[in-house]
Amino acid sequence: MTRHNPTSEADACAIVAEAAAQRTPLAIQGGGTKRAFGRPPQFESTLSSSLMTKVTLYEPAEFVISTEPGASLSGIVRLLAEHRQELAFEPLDYRPLLGSDGEPTIGAVAAMNLSGPRRIAGGAARDSSLGVRFVNGRGEAIKSGGRVMKNVTGLDLVKLMIGAHGTLGFLTEVTFKVVPSAQRVATLCLVGLSDRTAIATLSAALGSPYDVSGAAHLPAKIGGGARTLIRVEGFPDSVEYRLGELRSLLKAFGTAEVLADGTGKDLWVAIRDATVLAEPRDKAIWRISTAPTKGPDVAALIARTIDARWFFDWGGGLIWLACSTASAAGAATIRAAIRQAGGHATLVRAPEDVRAAVDVFDPPVKAIARLQTGLKASLDPAGIFNPGRMFPEL
């Protein structure tokens, strides 16, 4: 198996052009921590960004950072922290769930649109993306967007590439806006609530004017008793005021206590990375998005047929669910529940043979499928980038 490790965009263009001429399928890879995510791609060679690790621009005063795709996420987080800044979307780390090692890269964050609990306040990775450079399937270098907001004319390829899972091109640079780090982070916890009451509690908090940056519920089946968590961030005086107001607002649902800083921080990392569902390793993991108020109904409907454990993030709009190893019948049950409520489901963890047989991503409706096929044909006419990773025909 050939592995290509370009050190520059020009190198990548040459490698892709040759692969396109030979119609050689390429697996796109960064740190390799998410090889077990998605359908098993059908490839003959690997195109890796592991040697493209430079930070090409960082202007703290302008709140913007540009990097090559192989730059480590942890390194970028440390660099931003030195200037009391951070990525607004709190990217998750799939290593605990997938049992992988290596170092997550910023390119993978962009390619998979990885976003954590703060998405409800700061938006997704896609919302913070300002620009990309990438190599298309003809071996041409393409630039879209820039290093300031509203710097896009014509087709916005930035939003298209963020979340494409490497199926449309090979990223060579990504640019994100960043935000100031909060001076204080605090978490309120209510214990013993049912799923429905917890989601009502989170909805009340999110509907308040108190700038909630995290809203999650861990049911009793997760372990440690049922816990409903609400996070606020900002200047110390502001956080203290909002904590008091939220405690008063939520009295009807129970007593909200402020967790110790370390306890709260650890819980939000566990929620971000879904580590509370990592064990046992033989369980399949699904990531389900729906309307927040529909979350308890979706989980309960699935549980009528499948033995499952779950928890809620994004105020109930994101359900992380662990169940017996995925099968066509199990996937059908989960997607039937989603059809009733609206939303979509992604199979995050399962053995390779299961991921090859079961739809990992929701099959698109015909109109969307035509758009996807057209975009793939336009940007990757030879079909060499991560073929089959998202859908068999792509």
Q: For each of the chain's 394 residues, which pLDDT tens digit applies?
A: 799 999 999 999 999 999 999 999 999 999 999 999 999 888 889 999 999 999 999 999 999 999 999 999 999 999 999 999 999 999 999 999 999 999 999 999 999 999 999 999 999 999 999 999 999 999 999 999 876 655 555 567 999 999 999 999 999 999 999 999 999 999 999 999 999 999 999 999 999 999 999 999 999 999 889 999 999 999 999 999 999 999 999 999 999 999 999 999 999 999 999 999 999 999 999 999 999 999 999 999 999 999 999 999 999 999 999 998 767 778 889 999 999 899 999 999 999 999 998 999 998 889 999 999 999 999 999 999 999 999 987 7
Q: Among 2.40.50, 3.30.70, 1.10.3470, 3.90.25, what is the CATH number of 275-357? A: 3.30.70
Strands 2-4 and 26-29: unpaired
Domain boundaries, the chain: 2-180, 184-273, 275-357
Hey, do 184-273 and 275-357 end up sharing a CATH topology, with the first three levels equal? yes
Work out the number of other CB atoms within 10 angstroms of the CB of residue 37.
Answer: 20
Residue with tokens 């703060």: 118
Q: Among 3.30.70.2190, 3.30.70.100, 3.40.50.360, 3.40.50.720, what is the CATH number of 184-273? A: 3.30.70.2190
Strands 257-258 and 318-323: unpaired
Distance, CA of 1 to CA of 355 (rounded, Å): 22
Give the model's pLDDT for residue 330: 83
Supply the CATH classification number for the domain 2-180. Answer: 3.30.465.10
Give the model's pLDDT for residue 41: 80
Distance, CA of 120 to CA of 289 (rounded, Å): 13
Residues 6+ apart with CB under 8 A from 169: 134, 135, 136, 137, 142, 161, 379, 380, 385
Give the model's pLDDT for residue 329: 72
Give the model's pLDDT for residue 324: 86
